[in-house]
Structure 1
């Protein structure tokens, strides 16, 4: 996949000739990442059995609850520096990008329209509406949302805030992840991340390079029910083709057919191969088990899609590698508020028996949960 580097000042929205991906040659400015005493997200050593050597970069503590804040902060920051009188923005999204953009647009008093797939659950839409944005449901998946956003952007004269490689600021903004990881750990032996279009993995890798680190093997993990990059990797293909099978996964945030922009997937495919890494696919059952394990052992509430890397690492056949860093891309608050949480692990029997004895002696009834 051809990429072209341009200066920060010359970066413009869209692909180059023949679908060439445009990336910014200039390093990400310190204003987007230089905060070592207050990093955007922690790097946590996992306690999940079998993952003791894995560090989790948990992105759920952002203003909007996902790594998309890194993309939107850089994109919107550069946009408003160039066009302080921007009339508004349009954001195609399966949920996280829209919530992130709405949070930042609220702070900038900037009108915003989000385009989400028709089946997007209400709990992903309400946080966008609560921040004053308008939301239109349209189409089956992200690809159709992007097509409508293109049309509305031109019709309304609104700037398009995308989190695919169509926006050079998407990958650029994700470099802050690599800069932070470089400051938080002495070495990265392997970098694992859930991937839809892929700027999070490529941007993190480029951020590590900007920090003077060697490029580790990169592992892109997708949901088996919509995995165009993993399918291309498994088949030995040189390019990614759009996913033409039914989309059968609850991992909506990473379920992108890449229809209309398969070059994004090819960019990731080439990167994982060049790094000595891989592209993998995990089942929804594995994702659910990974989410439950993160709750039970690490106290982390991660979005279903954000658990893809952990799901792959938990497989018995996955090579164990000390120094692995896995990105958990978003908080699970939208699931949790909707009551979609894994069963609580059973409390130790001695504690339960003692509590039952104490509660039985109270003057009014108490119900013990868990």
Structure 2
């Protein structure tokens, strides 16, 4: 996959000739990553049994609850510096990018239209509507949302806020993750992240390099029910083909067929192989177990899709590597508000017995919940 690097001032939306991916050669300016008080997100040592030594870069602490704030903040910042009278933006999204863009557009007073797949749950849409954006349901998945967004942006004269490699600012802005990790962590011996199109993993790796670190083995993790990059890696293919089977996963944020832009997947495939890493696929059952483990042991409410790296790391056969950093890309608040939460382990029986004895003496009933 050919990648062309251009100066920041020459970066433009879209792919180059023949689908070439355009990346920005200039380093990410400190204003997008150098925060004197604290980083955009914490780096936490996991307490999940078997994951000792794994550092979690938890991206749920952003204004809108996901790493997409990095992409939208940098992209909108660059856009408004060039076009201060921008009439509005169009955002194709399965949820997180739309929430992030809506938060920033509300602060900037910009009109916004989000295009989401038809089956997007209401809990992913309400935070967008609450911030004043318009939402359109369309198509089966992200690929169709992007296609309609292209047409709508052209018709309205609106700017495209995308989080695929079609936007050179997507990968560029994710370098802030690598910059922060370089400042927060000691040795980074392996970098693991959930992947849809892939700018989060590539950007983080490039950010580490900008900070003077070597790029470690990269592990991209997808949902088994829609895993075009993992399929190409497993088969030894040199290029990624769009996923042509049924999409059978609840991990909507990383379930992208890559129809129309498979070169994004090929960019990830080449980077992973070049680093000595791998592309993995995890089941929905493993994702659910990983989300429950993050709640129970690390106190982290993570989005279902964001748990992909943790799900892979929890496999008994996954090599344990000291210095592993795993990016958990988003908060699970949308699931939690909808009541979709794993049950927590019951309290130890001696404590339950003491509580029940205490409550039995009260004049008003107290119900101990499980």
Taking structure 2 as the reference length, the TM-score comes to 1.00
Provide the residue aligned with 1:352 in structure 2. Answer: 352
In structure 2, the CA distance between the partners of 1:233 and 1:36, relative to structure 1 (3 Å rule), is farther
Instruction: Output one character per residue of 1:291-317: Cα deviation in whole Å (capped at 9) or x when no partner.
Output: 000000000000000000000000000
Deviation at 1:201, TM superposition (A): 0.1
Provide the residue aligned with 1:4 in structure 2. Answer: 4
Work out the CA distance in 1 between the residues paired with 2:247 and 2:168.
27
Work out the CA distance in 1 between the residues paired with 2:7 and 2:244.
36
CA contact (8 A) 1:36 1:180 kept: no
Instruction: Output one character per residue of 1:9-54: Cα deviation in whole Å (capped at 9) or x when no partner.
Output: 0000000000000000000000000015310000000000000110
Provide the residue aligned with 1:111 in structure 2. Answer: 111
Provide the residue aligned with 2:295 in structure 1. Answer: 295
Provide the residue aligned with 1:233 in structure 2. Answer: 233
Work out the CA distance in 2 between the residues paired with 1:286 and 1:323.
23
Instruction: Output one character per residue of 1:301-336: Cα deviation in whole Å (capped at 9) or x when no partner.
Output: 000000000000000000000000000000000000
Residue 69 of structure 2 is aligned to residue 69 of structure 1: yes
Deviation at 1:344, TM superposition (A): 1.2
Residue 162 of structure 2 is aligned to residue 195 of structure 1: no
Stretches of structure 1 that go unaligned for 5 or more consecutive residues are none
Residue 162 of structure 2 is aligned to residue 166 of structure 1: no
Work out the CA distance in 2 between the residues paired with 1:112 and 1:369.
43
Coordinate RMSD, CA, aligned = 0.5
Work out the CA distance in 1 between the residues paired with 2:352 and 2:55.
32
Equivalent runs, 1:77-116 vs 2, <5 Å: 77-116=77-116
Deviation at 1:79, TM superposition (A): 0.2
Provide the residue aligned with 1:339 in structure 2. Answer: 339
SS in structure 2 opposite 1:118? coil
Work out the CA distance in 2 between the residues paired with 1:215 and 1:110.
38
SS in structure 2 opposite 1:60? helix
SS in structure 2 opposite 1:325? strand
Provide the residue aligned with 2:142 in structure 1. Answer: 142
Work out the CA distance in 1 between the residues paired with 2:201 and 2:40.
17
Provide the residue aligned with 2:263 in structure 1. Answer: 263
Provide the residue aligned with 1:208 in structure 2. Answer: 208
Residue 298 of structure 2 is aligned to residue 321 of structure 1: no
Work out the CA distance in 1 between the residues paired with 2:348 and 2:324.
31
CA contact (8 A) 1:36 1:183 kept: no
Work out the CA distance in 1 between the residues paired with 2:30 and 2:352.
51
SS in structure 2 opposite 1:44? strand
SS in structure 2 opposite 1:191? strand
SS in structure 1 opposite 2:269? helix
Work out the CA distance in 1 between the residues paired with 2:263 and 2:108.
33
Work out the CA distance in 1 between the residues paired with 2:149 and 2:169.
17
- Count of matched residue positions in the alignment of Structure 1 and Structure 2: 370
Residue 206 of structure 2 is aligned to residue 224 of structure 1: no
SS in structure 1 opposite 2:270? helix
Work out the CA distance in 2 between the residues paired with 1:352 and 1:93.
45
Instruction: Output one character per residue of 1:219-278: Cα deviation in whole Å (capped at 9) or x when no partner.
Output: 000000000000000000000000000000000000000000000000000000000000
Provide the residue aligned with 1:369 in structure 2. Answer: 369
Provide the residue aligned with 1:133 in structure 2. Answer: 133
Deviation at 1:187, TM superposition (A): 1.3
Range with bigger deviation, 340-349 or 230-239? 340-349
Instruction: Output one character per residue of 1:103-141: Cα deviation in whole Å (capped at 9) or x when no partner.
Output: 000000000000000000000000000000000000000
CA contact (8 A) 1:68 1:100 kept: yes
Work out the CA distance in 2 between the residues paired with 1:317 and 1:52.
15
CA contact (8 A) 1:91 1:161 kept: yes
Deviation at 1:165, TM superposition (A): 0.1
Work out the CA distance in 2 between the residues paired with 1:271 and 1:9.
25
Instruction: Output one character per residue of 1:194-240: Cα deviation in whole Å (capped at 9) or x when no partner.
Output: 00000000000000000000010000000000000000000000000
